[in-house]
Structure 1
Amino acid sequence: MNGIPVSSPPKHKSTIVLVHGAWTNGSGWRSVHDRLIEKGYSVSVVQQPLTSFEADVAAVARVLAMQAGPVVLVGHCYGGAVITRVGNDPKVRALVYIAAHALEEGETPLGNDRKFVDPASHAGMDVRTTPDGFLYFEPSAYIEDYAADLDSATAHFQAHAQALTALGAFAVPATHPAWKDKPSWYMVAGADRILSPDLERMYGRRARSTMVEIAGASHAVHQSHPQEVVALIEQAAATAAIAP
C-alpha cells in the first residue's frame, strides 16, 4: 500500500529520557538514541539551554511531563546533577548516570570537582570564561580532554560547536537526591579528564548504583561506547518496567 508508513508502537513499557551535559547538546546522544529505538524503546532527548541550573531543570521537567509511562532518566556529566533533582518526579523509576555528577544534598558540581582534581587533566587550566559568565574550552583542550577517544573529525567539530555553559549552573547546591529513593546505575569513564574517575567511582558507590567501568574511555563515553551505554540503560529499563 502506498503512503506514509505507520510506525510500530514501542515494544517496551519504559520511556528513556536522555539528558546531555555541559559544553554540548542532545546530538551527542544520537548513537545511543538510535540503538534504543531499534530495540523498540520510546526515547526523548532533552535540549537544555545551559543558561542556568533552574532553566535546565525546567527543560527536563517539561519533557518528563510529556511522557505517558514510567521513565528511565539518563544523565551525562553535568546532566547528572539535573537528573538528581528532576528524578524525584514520580514518573521516574530509575536513574542512569554516565560519567555524571550524582550529588548529595548540599553538594555542587564545582565543589566536588575541586575535591577530586585529576593531575593528568588540563581541563581547569584550559577553561575560559566569557565576560557575561559562560564557560568554554579552548578547542585543542576540548579535543584532548573531553573527546580524546572520538574520531578526529567528530572531536574537531564538537570543539568548535561547544554549547557555552553558565558558570552559575555548577554552583547550585543539590536538594534531596533522587538516588536515595530510586534504583540507579552508574558508568565510570576510566580515562575521563573532565570528571575524575575517582569522583565517579565515589558517586556510584555512595548511591549504591549498579556500576560498570569502561577502561580507556574519555568523558565522551556515551559517544565512543554507545553499545555499552545502551546495555546499562536496558538493565535500568528492565527494573523500571516492573517497579510499582
Structure 2
Amino acid sequence: MKFSLLSTLSAALLFSAAATPTPAQTPSATGPTHNVILVHGAWANGASWSKVIPLLEAKGLNVVAVELPLTSLEDDVATVKRAIAIEDGPVLLVGHSYGGVVITEAGNDPKVSGLVYVAAFAPGDNGSINQLSQGGTPPPGIAELRPDAQGFLKLTQKGVSEDFAQDLTAAEKANITATQGPTNAKVLNGTITTAAWHQKPTWYVVSANDRMIPPDAERAMAKAMHAETITLPSSHVAMLSHPAPVAALIEKAAASTGSAK
C-alpha cells in the first residue's frame, strides 16, 4: 500500500510538472471570464462564501474559494497565485476585507481580468492596512481583537456578534466565532508592490453598517479606484447577510471582463 501510494504521488507530480505552463506559455486574460476565485478576509475562511458559491455556480461560473493561511501577506498572495495558475483561462478575483489587500497584489497576474472588492481594503502602491488606517478613528470591532503569545489575533464572541456579523442569526454568529481563522498581526503591515487596480477593472460592495472598516473609508477606496459600486445595508460580511446582490455584482463583473485593461 505504501509503495502504491508513493508511486501514485510520484506519477501525479510528474504529470503536474509536464502540464504546468512555463512563463512563456502562461495564458493571459483574454476571452470571456469563466473562472472566479473568492478570497476571504481575516478571522474568516473559505466558508464565508458559502451562500455566494451556489448562486455563481448556477450561472455556469467555475468557482474556487481559497483557504488563506493568514500568516503573512506573502504567504496569502502565494496561495492565490497557485489557484490562479491552475485555471485554464481568465480569472476574476473577489476579495473580502483583508482579502482585498491580497487580490490587489495577486491581481497583477496577467490571467486576472478584473477585481471585485467586498467591504475590502484596497491599498495603493506600496500600501498596507495600517497605512490606510492612519489618522482615522478605529472602528468598534478593532477593540475586540485579542492577541495570543505567537502574535495571532482573534475576535471575541462579542466582536463577532456586535461588530463583525451583527445582522446574521445567532447560529451563524456562533459558527463564525468557532471557526474563525486566527490572523497574524503582521498582515496589517503587509505591503503590496503595485496596486493591480491601476490596470484592471474594479467593482466594490460598500457595507453601510460596517463596524470593522468605516463605510466612509470603503467609499473613498472605491472612488479612488473608479470602481463600479453598490451599497448594501449590511454588516462587514455582506456576502453572508446579502448574498444575492453580492453574487449579482460578481456575475456582472465576470460578464464584463475577459481582457485586462
User: TM-score under structure 2 normalisation?
Assistant: 0.85
- Structure 1 pair 243–182 and aligned structure 2 pair: CA distance change class (3 A): closer
AA aligned opposite 1:168: K
> Does the alignment pair 1:231 with 2:248?
yes
Residue 117 of structure 1 and its aligned partner are, at CA, apart by 2.5
1:44: which partner in 2?
64
User: TM-score under structure 1 normalisation?
Assistant: 0.90
Residue 29 of structure 1 and its aligned partner are, at CA, apart by 0.3
Name whichever of 167-176 and 199-208 sits farther off: 167-176
* C-alpha distance after superposition, 1:26-46 (max 9, x if no partner): 011011111111111111111
Residue 180 of structure 1 and its aligned partner are, at CA, apart by 0.3
| Among candidates 176, 179, 184, match of residue 161 of structure 1 | 179
CA contact 2:89–2:111 (8 Å) conserved in 1: yes
Larger Cα Rg: Structure 1 or Structure 2?
2
- Structure 1 pair 150–114 and aligned structure 2 pair: CA distance change class (3 A): farther
2:25: which partner in 1?
none
Residue 123 of structure 1 and its aligned partner are, at CA, apart by 1.7
2:239: which partner in 1?
222
1:25: which partner in 2?
45
2:157: which partner in 1?
139
> Does the alignment pair 1:177 with 2:190?
no
CA contact 1:128–1:135 (8 Å) conserved in 2: yes
- Structure 1 pair 13–206 and aligned structure 2 pair: CA distance change class (3 A): closer
CA distance in 2 between partners of 1:31 and 1:226 (Å)? 6
Q: Which runs of 5+ in 1 are unaligned?
A: 1-11
CA contact 1:116–1:199 (8 Å) conserved in 2: no
1:99: which partner in 2?
119
Residue 113 of structure 1 and its aligned partner are, at CA, apart by 2.7
- Structure 1 pair 164–243 and aligned structure 2 pair: CA distance change class (3 A): closer
AA aligned opposite 1:231: A
CA contact 2:70–2:182 (8 Å) conserved in 1: yes
| Among candidates 182, 188, 194, match of residue 212 of structure 2 | 194
CA contact 1:116–1:196 (8 Å) conserved in 2: no
CA distance in 1 between partners of 2:175 and 2:97 (Å)? 19
CA RMSD of aligned residues (A): 1.4
AA aligned opposite 2:176: Q
Identity %, equivalent residues: 40
Q: Where has structure 1 moved over 4 Å in runs of 4 or more?
A: none
SS at match of 1:84: helix
2:73: which partner in 1?
53
How many residue pairs were aligned? 230
CA distance in 2 between partners of 1:178 and 1:102 (Å)? 10
Residue 143 of structure 1 and its aligned partner are, at CA, apart by 1.2
